[in-house]
Amino acid sequence: MKRAFVVLFAVACAAPPPAKVAIVKAHVRTLGERRDDVCARKDLVPMGASVVGDELQFDSAIVRSVHVRDASNAEVALGDETTSAIRIGAPLTADASRETLQRVWQTGKFADVAIDTEPTSPVEAGAVSVIVRVVPKRTIANVFVSGDAQPDALHVSQGSTYDAVAITSAKRAVLDFERTEGHLDATLEVSSAIAEHDAVDVCVKLMRGPRVTIDAIKVHGSAYDAALTALLAREDTVNVPDKVPNEEMLARDDLVLTAELYDHGLLNGEVKRTKERHGASITIDFAIKDGVQFHYGVVDVKGDLAAPKGDYMKLVTLKQGDVFSRTEAMAVLEKVRAMAKSAAKKDDIEVEPETELDVANQSVALTIAIHDPHPSASTTQQQPRGFTIVELKQGQGRAAKAGDTVDLHYKGTLTNGTVFDSSYGRSPFSFKIGGGAVIKGFDRGVTGMRVGGKRRVTIPPDMAYGSRAVGNIPASSTLVFEIELLAIR
Amino acid sequence: MALSLFLTSVTVDAKTVDRIAGIAGEHVVFLSDVRMRARVYMASQPDGDALARARQEAKAMRASCEDLIDEALVAEEAERRHLQVTEDEVSSAIDAVARTNETDRASLMKMIRERGIVERDYRAMVRARVLDGKLLALVMPKDKRDDLEAADKTMHDELRAQVYVEDRIASAP
């Protein structure tokens, strides 16, 4: 259906298949031949409305009264503020109608809402009575439980209101919880049926299934299997035999193993994690591909040098031809950072490693780049006021730059401390830096981060959502993100 | 879990101006939006007799409601991921549509207005498609990139599985 209806906006997709473009062209030819007919067609304009200029307008019927009634035409009491979007004595507009619909729906009391118009009584030409037609939510008459269900967690109880939206949300939470407890096959069915007196009977059936635990963790394929296995045992005490797999820790394990490969110069090394299920047991398998071993190529220091370059280079003990080691490189980086801060007498000097792989020669050129974000006035770039970055924890490896796809966790708060969003507890958030996928300040805040690093980024409104209110973020909000970089891809 | 709770106008003379046509988690889709979207779909349908046209319109209404539900869910997920679409991106996408149709943006928009489609609604549709594409690019597995339509459907199915979804157009008698 959707394919057939790709009309005039198909190529708006990021990467549409060629077939859709052809559909667009075909439609345009068809439309051109029958424009008059299409223009004349008014039957799909919302009832009682017409398109005038660039706006949808209702017939200018004057509202003489507004009533809230149920399906049996009985009056239903609502606060005046709920229906005040429709003005008595004024024409009924599309916006007022929608606003009223939204307001009544948001009371959470009704399963259905409609805005109807009826002739006035006595009939008056050009005037209507507006009926806000509502169907109250039903009451739960009985709850039938089977399996391992806990209806309390679903907010389903005899005499309470049947709220399908809330039940679905709670159902999801219950299943997520069961799965973190190892019940990977858990199923939860919630069904309903109309009972007498317009009430609802609800059936809840939870089948937990077996509790799945780890039976073994395997690391193989690397020349350093033993070291990697020992490292994993030290770093991850959660994912061990007889315990339930913890996805967050497993994702961290990938990074720990990759970092260890980097310490052996294996910069193209790969860690591929799979899980193999055997009944109530699961084997975690880390398949490692070492790839080639890289050695240091040219090692240099550049950028905003507040001390003679020779002084910095004395700290660079990495020798061309030696096997690359991430830990070793980071140690040197830290020494350079300390000197850079000391020489510039500033704490906000940014020192980042830039690496360039020469695969043919299996070498890696390392440049330690020093950046003073607040140099003399003549070189200061125009930056929106209020944008700040505070390094909470230095990461390791190369700095994330435009074009990189990064995996990270974040917590977003307003300046009053209200958390408006957080990725913790969910899958890590991924996006391509500089791809326009996120607000400008977030893009900028992540740029320069290294894996394992953590930043607090304060983003003024003009680098966030501006004067728009978005979700639970008020208009013109300054946002504060704590960002933890997990991976650069 | 869906119940038959649809309203019917109580009196013969009552006209329904607007109503809840769909539910997508915490969001609702208005009948007025569905009708407006269906107008765009119907604009590209061939002529037929009254019965054929009525069938097309019913089909267009169902498809519109389904699309608006998907768009609401995509918008919510995109917001969670801090994805956004700028006005420039919308304009660029419209330019791309115009180029594909061998015309320019002004002519395309004139054509759209002539068909009784409000420019604001058209831009909203384009914005939704761009946002869908951005989200798809983020969540699409690498091995699915050769079948974008299937990947898009999978993404929508997964989003729908997270929340309560009800299409009152499709399930109406």
- Could you read off the pLDDT of A222-262 as tens digits, one per residue? 999 999 999 999 999 999 999 999 988 998 999 999 999 99
State yes or no: cis peptide before A119, omega within 30 of 0: no
* Domain at B18-167: CATH code: 1.10.4030.10
Burial (Cβ within 10 Å: 0-12, 13-18, ≥19) of residue A217: buried
- What is the distance between the alpha carbons of residues A15 and A403, in angstroms, rounded to a whole number? 17
Q: Which of the pair, A282 or A42, is modelled with greater confidence?
A: A282
CA nearest to B138, candidates B67, B71, B70, B80: B80
What pLDDT is attached to residue B118?
A: 76
Question: Would you name the residues of A annotated as active-site residues?
Answer: 410, 420-421, 439, 465, 481
How far does B93 lie from chain A, in Å, by closest CA? 5
* Range scoring the smallest mean pLDDT among A64-68, A69-73, A300-304, B1-5: B1-5
Q: Which residues of A touch B60 (CB under 8 A)?
A: 5, 44
Note the pTM of the prediction, 2 decimals.
0.61
What pLDDT is attached to residue B40?
A: 75
What pLDDT is attached to residue A242?
A: 94
Closest residue on chain B to A166 (Cα): B164
What pLDDT is attached to residue A167?
A: 84
ipTM higher than the 0.95 cut: no
Mean pLDDT for B9-22 is: 75
Q: Which of the pair, A170 or A47, is modelled with greater confidence?
A: A170
- Inspect the interface and report whether the beta carbons of A430 and B25 lie closer than 8 Å: no
What pLDDT is attached to residue B24?
A: 92
Q: Which residues of B touch A105 (CB under 8 A)?
A: 20, 28
Q: Are B18 and A101 in contact (CB under 8 A)?
A: yes
Query: Does B9 touch chain A if contact means CB atoms closer than 8 Å?
Result: yes
A282 — pLDDT class (breaks 50, 70, 90): very high
pLDDT for B87-105, tens place per residue?
888 888 888 888 887 888 8
What pLDDT is attached to residue B70?
A: 95
Q: Which residues of A touch B5 (CB under 8 A)?
A: 111-112, 135, 138
- Inspect the interface and report whether the beta carbons of A11 and B100 lie closer than 8 Å: yes
How far does A201 lie from chain B, in Å, by closest CA? 11
- What is the distance between the alpha carbons of residues A231 and A249, in angstroms, rounded to a whole number? 14
CA nearest to A161, candidates A111, A114, A196, A195: A111
* Range scoring the smallest mean pLDDT among A74-78, A261-265, B23-27, B132-136: A74-78
Both tokens of A114, joined, read: 């409609």
How far does B114 lie from chain A, in Å, by closest CA? 6
Closest residue on chain A to B134 (Cα): A14
CB hemisphere CA count around A386 (13 angstroms): 13
What count of other Cβ atoms lies within 10 Å of the Cβ of residue A124? Answer: 13
Query: Does B118 touch chain A if contact means CB atoms closer than 8 Å?
Result: yes
Query: Does B155 touch chain A if contact means CB atoms closer than 8 Å?
Result: no
Q: Which of the pair, A348 or A377, is modelled with greater confidence?
A: A348
- What is the distance between the alpha carbons of residues A300 and A312, in angstroms, rounded to a whole number? 9
Mean pLDDT for A55-82 is: 77
> At residue A297, what is the residue type?
G
pLDDT for A89-127, tens place per residue?
988 888 888 899 999 988 888 888 999 888 888 888 888
What pLDDT is attached to residue A44?
A: 42
H-run or E-run covering A242: none
What pLDDT is attached to residue A81?
A: 64
Query: Does B54 touch chain A if contact means CB atoms closer than 8 Å?
Result: no
What pLDDT is attached to residue A421?
A: 83
Query: Does B114 touch chain A if contact means CB atoms closer than 8 Å?
Result: yes
How far does B173 lie from chain A, in Å, by closest CA? 16
pLDDT for B66-92, tens place per residue?
999 999 999 999 888 888 888 888 888
Q: Is the pLDDT of residue A53 over 70?
A: no
Q: Which of the pair, A400 or A35, is modelled with greater confidence?
A: A400
- Inspect the interface and report whether the beta carbons of B1 and A168 lie closer than 8 Å: yes
What count of other Cβ atoms lies within 10 Å of the Cβ of residue A283? Answer: 15
Q: Which residue bears the tokens 């994993």?
A: A232
Q: What is the mean pLDDT of chain A?
A: 80
What count of other Cβ atoms lies within 10 Å of the Cβ of residue B38? Answer: 24
Closest residue on chain A to B137 (Cα): A14
